[in-house]
Amino acid sequence: MIQRHRPLLSYWDWQQRARCRGMDSSVFFSPPGEHGPEKRAREAKARAVCRRCPVIEPCAWTAMSGPEAYGVWGGMSEVERRQLRRPGRRRDVAAESEMADSE
């Protein structure tokens, strides 16, 4: 069987329509040493952008299916994606995180 690979540009085409396009990447990626309230506030800001994004699903799929170990992708932080990848994990981690942010 011959495997056909998608052209790289078409694979990443969804990024052309992303709300985060052109934004400062520091909204989505932690600076060294960021913890606690600062990290939660930055991630909440990133998730707010993601919630209104027309390509949130392909962004999340890319992060979950690839090696995206850092940053907020598709409205999910690296911790949330790691939790979802765990075998047997069934709860909506992103929804749990949003509830925690609103408290």
| 22-36 per-position pLDDT tens digit | 999 999 999 999 999
Whole-angstrom distance, CA of residue 31 vs CA of residue 33: 6
| 46-97 per-position pLDDT tens digit | 999 999 999 999 999 999 988 788 999 999 999 999 998 887 655 554 455 5
User: Given this model, what pLDDT does residue 100 score?
Assistant: 45
Q: Does 78 or 12 have the greater pLDDT score? A: 78
Tell me the whole-structure pTM to 2 decimals: 0.73
User: Given this model, what pLDDT does residue 89 score?
Assistant: 59
pLDDT at 6 over 80: no
User: Given this model, what pLDDT does residue 101 score?
Assistant: 47
